[in-house]
Structure 1
């Protein structure tokens, strides 16, 4: 996958998965001697990302505002590639600053009636709970679901949906347990009561396949599994959402009566990077990437269980994050860092998130290091 002069990579014929990884491995360099397993925090950039960002500034340095045609072409390319990845029409895709902006835009664009309810997980990422503060102030009720355990997470949510439910808002992949939800199943339950489904997809998009057939609003920042840095998020507002919501923000990009939620200029330098990165990832191949992430996460779970180390994430519900119960997660993360293994410490758990650029050797080294650390605690 290494680009010659960082130009568009050519498609290559490969004999198997090992050949794909041999190409990919050359394109991702982490600190010498380190194992990086924090893609759920921030993904590694491929070599062409720096050149893509620089191209925006070189274009503006040479042409100023006359470079507008070039930066809009990059934005269009990023939109078309995002739409292909999500299997939605390109006109339903917009670009925003972050996932929280997408969720908040949607949440504050709902017109509430007395008795309306919004269903969320009590332990979800903050934006998916706090975005509904204004709904509560307008008379809606926030139903906070407290899952019994990771394996029942989806069923517990479905049990909370009633004819009073107006919106259901969830993370596709829960950041603290690694559990992936079935969006089609949840979306069908929402349709049964004429509710909208809003989804925070930042821990899913780029790691696992995403089906938005029954999703109404979808937001996903691109700095994690899409490897494209901070300051840009993909926002998808399906037709059903555009018909039901009234955009809370208006500007030159969406004067009334427009139903568009893209109200102003996006982060064009970021879209240069996103377009180049999605181009690269398409060349690697999305089916291979998704299968690779699933296999690596599965190897983490099975390897830990074989050592008797408790895992929070159910094997059958995994995506790219594996959550592990450890006696002192902060201390564990520090001890692993001393062994040049980079993991996350969040919500009192050790979180491991391999991406397609990780090797099975990385997984083995992590498991050996964790086993060693726990033996000293």
Structure 2
């Protein structure tokens, strides 16, 4: 496997106790915690216990460092990145910071995650329209979104990687099309960030919770508002951190205990190496897809547009998922599909264990 010898991988896996005895292939649901996180969170509470409010300078300084780590990971200016509660808050903040007019249009895929689709109904109250695009087959998804963009489009809102099908969209292609009509590209990146390299050159707003591929638990979300978005949007939420005329969208203190965890985890992941992590996710995902094909099933996820997720359909996906769990293989059923999502801490042996358990489950149907 890419970039990690057996000894280094074994050392990393020792920090993820839930991996013992099972094949956990559901990081697209929630990434596993590692042992260093409890210690990181304890530092925050120890600081508060020993210093009270006098320790504020410490946790604020750590928040700045975590923000710098995120900005470096996404290759954006630090001022563009802020912390929020979750992905949904960031997308709603973008939707409610737009001044809508009659005739405005927002383009979304009809089957996209609710947090991508529903924040934009405010445009309809102003006489606009949310254009819900039938994505067709997965290879058609991106083209159909592009075909729906018109001179009336103000926003294209998409998932970077679809949470059900695993299809990855080309953000450069979508962003260039948005700029041709002066629209914003708003992206839910929760199923991408940490599993593959992310390029925000043509993205205006990028939102991602940290509990999946960034392994850092619930309650913290990353929101990136690029300069082009700040020029077009007026922050709907105001507070002591972004008093007018500030165009910063961070309006209050973030979840500092969560940032202690995120900061430590980003340091840990950086020590593994992001190219190594991304390469392993890619290799394990491809191995998973190949194993599924070897059993006579063609994955729903396009081979040329996948990231960390491979989804496929069987006659009874819920029953198959349950049988895999009984065999110690953790995957999930989503809207009639079986979804498999390995992370860098998984091994080829665990993917092979999944394939063997799937073959046995299919044979028993």
**Corresponding residue number in structure 1 for 2:289:** 301
Q: Match for 1:251 among 219, 239, 247?
A: 239
> Aligned to 1:179, what secondary structure does the other structure show?
coil
Q: Indicate whether 1:157 and 2:145 are aligned.
A: yes
* 2: CA distance, partners of 1:31 / 1:77: 30
Instruction: Give the direction of change, closer, same or farther, for the CA distance of 1:273–1:139 in structure 2 (3 Å limit).
Output: same
Aligned pairs for 1:134-149 within 5 A: 134-149=122-137
Question: Which of the residues 131, 155, 166 maps onto 2:154?
Answer: 166
> After superposition, where does 1:283-294 map in structure 2 within 5 Å?
283-294=271-282
Structure 1 gap segments, 5+ residues each: 1-13
Q: Give SS of 1:240's match.
A: helix
Q: Secondary structure at the match of 2:130?
A: strand
Is the CA contact 1:20–1:284 (under 8 Å) kept in the aligned structure 2?
Answer: no
1:43 aligns with 2:31: yes
Would you identify which runs of 4 or more consecutive aligned residues in structure 1 move more than 6 Å?
A: none
Determine if the alignment matches structure 1 residue 193 to structure 2 residue 201: no
CA–CA distance in structure 2, aligned partners of residues 238 and 16 of structure 1: 35
How far apart, CA to CA, are the structure 2 residues paired with 1:220 and 1:74?
20
Write the mapping of 1:16-31 to structure 2, written as runs, cut at 5 A: 17-18=5-6, 20-30=8-18
RMSD, matched Cα: 1.3
1:252 to 1:16, Cα distance in 2 relative to 1, 3 A: closer
Rounded Cα–Cα distance in structure 2 between residues aligned with 1:83 and 1:248: 23
Task: After TM superposition, give the deviation of residue 16 of structure 1 in Å.
Answer: 5.5
Matches within 5 A, 1:80-119: 80-119=68-107
Partner of 1:320 in structure 2? 308
1:168 and 1:195 in contact (8 A); partners too: yes
SS in 1 for 2:216: coil
Secondary structure in structure 2 of the residue aligned to 1:282: helix
User: Do residues 274 (structure 1) and 280 (structure 2) align?
Assistant: no
Cα contact 2:235–2:247 (8 A) shared by 1: yes
Counterpart CA distance in 2 for 1:16 and 1:265 is 38
Instruction: Tell me if 1:57 matches 2:23.
Output: no
| Structure 2 SS opposite 1:313 | coil
Residue in structure 1 matching 2:57, options 62, 65, 69: 69
- Report the Cα distance in structure 2 between the residues aligned to 1:135 and 1:34, rounded to whole angstroms: 47
**Secondary structure in 2 matching 1:132:** helix
Q: Is the alpha carbon distance of 1:338 and 1:312 closer, same or farther for their aligned partners in structure 2, counting shifts above 3 Å?
A: same
Q: CA deviation at 1:78?
A: 0.8
What is the CA distance between 1:311 and its match in structure 2? 1.0
Unaligned runs of 5+ in 2: none
Q: Is the 8 A contact 1:167 1:198 kept in 2?
A: yes
Secondary structure class of the residue paired with 1:131: helix
C-alpha distance in structure 2 between counterparts of 1:15 and 1:142, whole Å: 45
Match of 2:195 among 179, 185, 207: 207
Please report how far the alpha carbon of residue 20 of structure 1 lies from its aligned counterpart in structure 2 after TM superposition: 4.3
Q: Distance in 2 between matches of 1:76 and 1:161?
A: 38
Partners of 2:72 and 2:92 lie apart in 1 by 25
Tell me, in whole angstroms, the C-alpha distance in 2 between the residues paired with 1:60 and 1:190. Answer: 46
Deviation at 1:18, TM superposition (A): 4.5
Residue among 351, 358, 362 paired with 1:370: 358
Give me the TM-score of the superposition, normalised by structure 2. Answer: 0.97
Deviation at 1:59, TM superposition (A): 0.6
1:102-146 CA-to-partner distances (Å, cap 9, x unmatched) read: 000001111112211000010100010011111111111111111
**Equivalent residue pairs, number:** 364
- Match of 2:224, SS state, is strand
TM-score by length of 1: 0.94
Report the CA distance between 1:27 and its aligned residue.
2.3
